């Protein structure tokens, strides 16, 4: 198949990936790499001269480059909607970048099979937790006692309550209370635990070790640990991704890391589709309620864990 034909095929693929990435807050690499690896490259004759490992490297490199366009387009859309917590994002950026570097350094020194299995299990457990948080309020019903009586606290007992410790006071000062009204007029109230932003280093580390985009780990970190609503977590994740992926690409070009497979016609085709798809996905994400969005993201986590196991099997069998 001619490169120009592949270029036009990649535009609708980019639109699909862009919609998916904006809704879930991911870079889209988890969807893009399998598509490039199994579909597009199988149709393009020149790649038949390469081994499977080389084709996989081409797919991952093109995906990493295009993710910058995904993140930038999604960030613009979410910025217009006023759903990005810039302070939390900026505080997370250095830790995510540091985690990515540590992940790359560690990757060559430990058994990659163990890392892939651990990552797959971690994603699966995170998905279960998110689904449980959605369904648990519907399962549990509040128990109301018929003979409930009002409990009065004596004045002496109330006065002897322990004062919060200095550590607790410090944590309170590092917890930012947000009261935000987005562009649609919806009000959001939440507490952002700024003292937990260093956990972002784990997101960068695990994502780098497993070879996936940081969003797959950062969205749960932002939502579960730091306390952002799921809509803000997905939007802030793509904002963070601009910095982390740009750093990865700059390192690949200027450092000692080998860059394989920057085929700019492919990047251009995907980028054109992704820029439009991300705008559509951001608008759809605004209309999706929190619980369905959590279920969508949890489903993506399960699919990524399955894809990770497939990668592991390919490596075990000597294919990758």
- Any idea what DSSP says for residue 195? G
Q: In the chain, which residue ranges form alpha helices assigned H by DSSP?
A: 3-24, 29-35, 41-43, 52-81, 86-107, 112-139, 155-159, 166-173, 200-210, 215-220, 230-254, 264-287, 290-316
| Amino acid 257: pLDDT | 43
| Amino acid 310: pLDDT | 75
SS3 for 192?
strand
| Amino acid 289: pLDDT | 78
Q: What six digits make up the tokens of 286?
A: 């605004």
Per-domain residue ranges of the chain: 3-137+165-316
| Amino acid 146: pLDDT | 46
SS3 for 193?
strand
Convert the pLDDT of each residue in 77-92 to its tens digit: 889 989 999 999 999 9
This model's pTM is above 0.75: no
Which secondary structure element, helix H or strand E, spans residue 255, and what is its range?
Answer: none
How far, in Å, CA of 130 to CA of 250, rounded?
34
- Kindly tell me the sign of the dihedral angle through the C-alpha atoms of 125, 129, 135, 141: positive
Q: What six digits make up the tokens of 58?
A: 């081409």
Calculate what percentage of the chain has a pLDDT beyond 90: 12
Q: Annotate 172-188 with DSSP letters as a single string.
A: HHTEEEEEEE-TTS-EE
Count Cβ neighbours within 10 Å for each residue of 199-226 and write b for 16 or more, e otherwise: bbbbbbbbbbbbbbbbbbbbbbbbbbeb
User: For residue 151, what are the β-bridge partners?
Assistant: none
| Amino acid 193: pLDDT | 93
Backbone angles phi, psi at 288, to 5 degrees: -80, 135
Convert the pLDDT of each residue in 9-46 to its tens digit: 888 888 888 888 777 766 666 677 777 776 666 665 55
| Amino acid 119: pLDDT | 67
SS3 for 190?
strand
Instruction: Give the number of residues written for the chain.
Output: 320
SS3 for 240?
helix
Ranges under pLDDT 50 in the chain: 144-148, 158, 256-259
| Amino acid 144: pLDDT | 47
């Amino acid at each position: 198949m001619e490169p120009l034909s592949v270029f036009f095929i990649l535009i609708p693929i980019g639109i699909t990936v862009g919609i998916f990435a904006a809704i879930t807050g991911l870079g889209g690499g988890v969807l893009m790499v399998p598509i490039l690896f199994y579909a597009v490259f199988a149709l393009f004759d020149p790649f038949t001269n390469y081994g499977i490992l080389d084709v996989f490297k081409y797919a991952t490199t093109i995906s990493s480059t295009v993710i910058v366009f995904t993140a930038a387009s999604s960030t613009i859309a979410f910025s217009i909607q006023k759903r990005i917590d810039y302070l939390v994002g900026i505080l997370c950026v250095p830790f995510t970048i540091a985690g990515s570097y540590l992940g790359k350094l560690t990757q060559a020194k430990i058994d990659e099979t163990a890392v892939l299995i651990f990552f797959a299990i971690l994603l699966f457990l995170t998905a279960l937790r998110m689904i449980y948080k959605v369904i648990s309020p519907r399962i549990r019903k509040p128990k109301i006692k018929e003979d409930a009586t009002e409990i009065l606290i004596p004045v002496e007992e109330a006065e002897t309550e322990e004062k919060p410790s200095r550590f607790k006071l410090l944590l309170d000062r590092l917890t930012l209370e947000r009261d935000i009204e987005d562009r649609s007029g919806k009000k959001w109230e939440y507490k952002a635990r700024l003292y937990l932003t260093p956990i972002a280093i784990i997101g960068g580390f695990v994502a780098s070790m497993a070879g996936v985009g940081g969003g797959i780990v950062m969205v749960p970190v932002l939502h579960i640990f730091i306390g952002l609503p799921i809509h803000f977590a997905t939007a802030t994740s793509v904002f963070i991704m601009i910095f982390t992926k740009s750093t990865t690409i700059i390192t690949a070009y200027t450092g000692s890391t080998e860059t394989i497979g920057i085929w700019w016609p492919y990047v251009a085709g995907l980028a054109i589709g992704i820029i439009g798809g991300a705008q559509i996905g951001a608008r759809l994400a605004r209309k999706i309620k929190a619980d369905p969005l959590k279920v969508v993201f949890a489903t993506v986590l399960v699919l990524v864990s399955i894809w990770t196991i497939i990668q592991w099997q390919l490596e075990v069998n000597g294919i990758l």
